[in-house]
Structure 1
Amino acid sequence: MALRGVVGIFFLSAVPLVCLELRRGIPDIGIKDFLLLCGRIFLLLALLTLIISVTTSWLNSFKSSQLHVKEEEEKNEKRRKLVRKKQQEAQGEKVNRYIENVLKPHQEMKLKKLEERFYQMTGEAWKLSSGHKLGIPDLPEEPSGTAEEVVTVALRCPSGSVLRRRFLKSCSSQVLFDWMMRTGYHTSLYSLSTSFPRRPLAVEGGWSLEDIGVTVDTVLILEEKEQTN
């Protein structure tokens, strides 16, 4: 449509020139000259049409090329975003593996060493061992408060806390030391004594709680032994 409009405008603009030439040369113009003039005009129109056609084709090709370039840039940008996303996910997985396989074990090992140093400085290195390695026997099942021949023993710890548990009077007296070790205080470092009068608790393997005088609710003192070089 644009090409036809340009050709039409050029043709209309050429008509006055043709008329002027015809008016000036009417006395001398012949049929041959008229045909030559028309041929020149049509030749000029053909040349102009060719130029416009080539220019239009080039412009269309240029626009198509620009559009193709834009589409390629959009595709490349999408590819780059996808690549960056995959790289970030891979980096995140590497960080997680590093935390789980390197950083976390290193921190746990560091905390363990600090714990070992603390217990060694406080003379409680035995706490680093498990209960099974210490050979602590299982405690008897705690009886109910309504059962007969039951006493409540309170254990006053060095930290100031008080632990309480019920036992049968017929229970072995050794269970008191087993209970003490279960609470985290080893017999090699701590001892038990009566509260009043203050004396070390005498325990024999074959004695029951009733045999050592624990016949009523009793408070026992848990205290640290003096360490000798």
Structure 2
Amino acid sequence: MTGAKTWITCLLLILLFIWMGSASRPGEVVLWTGKFIFLISVLTLIISFVTPWISSFRRSRKSHMGLSVPEGDMEQQQKLVRIEQQEQLKQKASYYVENIMKPREESRLKRKMEHFYRMTGQSWKLTEGHMLGDGEGHDSLNNCDATDKAAETPNNEALRKRKLPEQATKPIPKLEPPPPKKIITLPEEPNEPGEGVISVALRCPSGRVFRRRFYKSCCSLVLQDWMMKLGYHSVFYALYTSSPRCQVELKTELSIENIGIIKDTLLNIEQNYS
């Protein structure tokens, strides 16, 4: 407000001097205008520097007159103000943590747990469930005496209230003993070839060949037992003739001679695709 009044006064003075110069000597209007502009700038500069000094002088005078607070009391007041500000900041921080940060973290953790349970197939953990034995056994509880209730342990009470599913109460059936493991035994091998004796060779898938002599009267399943003893199970492998290639049918009632092996023969062990 003071600056506005100063500028208005300066403008009025400039107009006054310009009017006076134009009335007396119109040629000196420009000169007077420059002089007053310079005067106004000097006055503005002086006012801008003097005003802060005057205000500071007034404040120091008031403090010397006894309006200021003693230094010790001032420090105590500043300390109390700082403590109060710290308490306010702590309250704001605790309010932010309790009402914003913690609910946000809990909701984030809950979403992660729900996603984890759904991905691992444990979504039943997200349900509230129900209490086992709730509402069961009220009639038996009413018939019990007070002494029995007092003497009953919590474990017995829970056992009495519990109602297990039928699968849990059903007696476990006795398992039949497994069948005895078959022990493969081959008949004695004839020492020398002769009548009623043939030599059979088995060619393995690896290319290795095994030879053995049998009596023609032996059961044809002896060849299968020999193959299994070499490490080739009859479920996955079978015996085939070389030429013509055909599968050898092994039966209990047939002997080696009955299945067509009447001389020294080479059989191939091959995978059974049938």
Between the two structures, name the one with larger relative contact order (CA 8 Å, sep ≥ 6): 1
Query: Normalising by the residue count of structure 2, what TM-score does the alignment of the two structures yield?
Result: 0.33
